[in-house]
Amino acid sequence: MLSSLMPKVYLKTYGCQMNERDSEQVAQMLVARGYEMTGEASEADVILLNTCSVRDMAEQKALGKMGILGRLQKTRPHTVYGFLGCMAQSRGASLLSDVPHLDLVVGTQKFHRVADHVDEILRRKMAHDTAMDDLRFPIVDTDAEPGSQETIRDHAAASAGAFVSIMQGCNMRCTFCIVPDTRGGERSRSITNITAEVRDLVSRGCREVTLLGQIVNLYGRHEFPKENGRSPFVQLLEAVNDIEGLERLRFTSPHPIGFRDDLIGCFGRLSKLTEHVHLPLQSGSNRILKAMHRGYTAEKFRALVEKLRTQCPSVAITTDIIVGFPGETDEDYAATRALTDEIGFDNAFVFRYSQRKDTPAATMPDQIPEDVKETRNHDLLSVVNRHAQQKLQDHVGRSVEILCTGPSRHNDARLTGRTRGNKIAVFEGPDNLTGKLVQIDIAEAAGFTLYGENPRVEQSRIA
């Protein structure tokens, strides 16, 4: 490691929970080598942006941020600048010419190499005269490699909740999606390995885990056999549910085609599995769903929602929807709007279609003008928000279980947590409630937040 004072690292993450977990692992590897994490880029010796490529806007935000951060080079010429993750994977070495001060480009299958690369570049820079005009020693590492899926965790007390990556990659090839190119094919960890990680987290205070995968409910379908009609994913849920001391279990993001009866049945028999399903719809038009290669129809999606609600009447269902997919007519959009209104999601992420290079949809005819996308996006959000607000209002006057995760991000005099249905709640109470199940009475719902009172510690519901 460097012989100078502890170098500082600024790490910013864009995109999904998978990226958040990858960044956490990179940070822990760097800290293990003697680096210190900082939230101030101006004092950093290493600046890393973990990127997303799902939409063009996400890439542009990361590029813009890196451009702004590059100004720090005038006073800190030794600083290492790096892009990690999905955009790094898709754009590769071209980023070096696009961003003159960039030193490091590391793809999605090489996160376990980041610390080595940072060490090497920073050491070379510190060994040279910092008055030189160009101190770049660029490294681009985006070759396909299984890499290390073993999770690195520090040994400090765990937070109340944690993400656990159970697989990488995707084989689905939806026509709008770049993920199979940036993340590679499906690769799953073993149940033994995953449960060992969860037990370790629980031993250090974690009470809730969220299992992560690009299409999480297709876990292990190519590596592990079914048992008694139960898919590998259901076997994993059962194994994690049995871990003593764990209170809650979540997973994201699934695909509708992976919801067979064995998985639906889990919501009625696994006590720790929370009553929340994120179920991407993408479109309510069968014609558009076919063009997207989604593998289901609007009718099948509706039937799946009905099955979930029959199995678990209190289930909260959220979704993803794309508006303005190539060729989407007013009639297609109307079908999406109608199905969204009919189902009444607890919430939804609504996205304007974004062309992604090397995806089939990018070159499809009848690309939709941006103003039409914007109009549909705004209109659909009005439908989503109406239902979301009603779902929140339905909680007012009720007593609900919250897993307290600590001070509220916006007001540290209050505590925050989430319901089993994944709704944010804020309330006043002592700091020692953090990490505990708390019963609160919901007095108000405003925006996308529940406001509670009268907190009392709940004994574990799990026998």
Residue 26: count other Cβ atoms within 10 Å of its Cβ: 25
Task: State the DSSP H helix or E strand holding residue 83, giving kind and residue range, or none if neither.
Answer: strand 80-85
What is the pLDDT at residue 125? 87
Q: In whole angstroms, what is the distance from residue 372 CA to residue 456 CA?
A: 50
Nearest to 272 by CA among 198, 350, 190, 172: 198
Q: Which of 141, 169, 187 is the last residue of a domain?
A: 141
What is the pLDDT at residue 399? 97
**Residue 404 is part of a domain; what is its CATH number?**
2.40.50
Do the strands 167-168 and 187-188 form a parallel or antiparallel pair, or are they unpaired?
antiparallel
Residues 334, 375 contacting (CB under 8 angstroms): no
Residue 146 placed within a domain: no
Nearest to 221 by CA among 171, 296, 158: 171
Residue 198 placed within a domain: yes
Residue 325 placed within a domain: yes
What is the pLDDT at residue 190? 96
Question: What secondary structure letter does DSSP report for 409?
Answer: S
Looking at the structure, do residues 382 and 302 belong to the same domain, yes or no? yes
Nearest to 51 by CA among 7, 2, 1, 98: 98
Looking at the structure, do residues 218 and 308 belong to the same domain, yes or no? yes
Residue 410 placed within a domain: yes
Q: In whole angstroms, what is the distance from residue 27 CA to residue 10 CA?
A: 9
**Using CA of residue 277, residue 278, residue 280, residue 285, what is the dihedral sign?**
positive
Instruction: Say which amino acid occupies 279.
Output: L
Residues 340, 384 contacting (CB under 8 angstroms): yes
Q: Which positions ≥6 away from 400 have C-beta within 8 Å?
A: 419, 420, 425, 439, 440, 442, 450, 452
Q: Which domain holds residue 405?
A: 399-457
Q: Which of 393, 414, 430 is the last residue of a domain?
A: 393
What is the pLDDT at residue 305? 98
Q: In whole angstroms, what is the distance from residue 341 CA to residue 273 CA?
A: 27
Q: In whole angstroms, what is the distance from residue 70 CA to residue 106 CA?
A: 18
Domain count, the chain: 3
**Residue 65 is part of a domain; what is its CATH number?**
3.40.50.12160
Residue 283 placed within a domain: yes
Looking at the structure, do residues 310 and 189 belong to the same domain, yes or no? yes
Do the strands 187-188 and 8-13 form a parallel or antiparallel pair, or are they unpaired?
unpaired
Looking at the structure, do residues 367 and 327 belong to the same domain, yes or no? yes
- Per-residue pLDDT 10s for the chain (463 aa) are 444 578 999 999 998 888 998 999 899 999 999 999 999 999 999 999 999 988 888 899 999 999 999 999 888 889 999 999 999 998 999 999 999 999 999 998 889 999 999 999 998 888 875 544 556 679 999 887 765 555 555 555 568 999 999 998 999 999 999 888 888 889 999 999 999 999 999 999 999 999 999 999 999 999 999 999 999 999 999 999 999 999 999 999 999 999 999 999 999 899 999 999 999 999 999 999 999 999 999 999 999 999 999 999 999 999 999 999 999 999 999 999 999 999 999 999 999 999 998 899 999 999 999 999 999 999 999 999 999 999 999 999 999 999 999 999 888 889 999 999 999 999 999 989 999 999 999 999 998 999 999 999 976 554 3
**Assessment of whether the complete model's pTM goes beyond 0.75:** yes
What is the pLDDT at residue 463? 39
Residue 336 placed within a domain: yes
Looking at the structure, do residues 81 and 121 belong to the same domain, yes or no? yes
Residue 463 placed within a domain: no
Looking at the structure, do residues 362 and 237 belong to the same domain, yes or no? yes
Q: String of b and e for 252-288 (b: at least 16 CB within 10 Å)?
A: bbbbbebbeebbbebbeebebbbbbbbbbbbbbbbeb
Looking at the structure, do residues 296 and 358 belong to the same domain, yes or no? yes
Residues 450, 426 contacting (CB under 8 angstroms): yes
Do the strands 399-407 and 437-446 form a parallel or antiparallel pair, or are they unpaired?
antiparallel
3-class secondary-structure state, position 292: helix
Looking at the structure, do residues 118 and 173 belong to the same domain, yes or no? no
What is the pLDDT at residue 1? 43
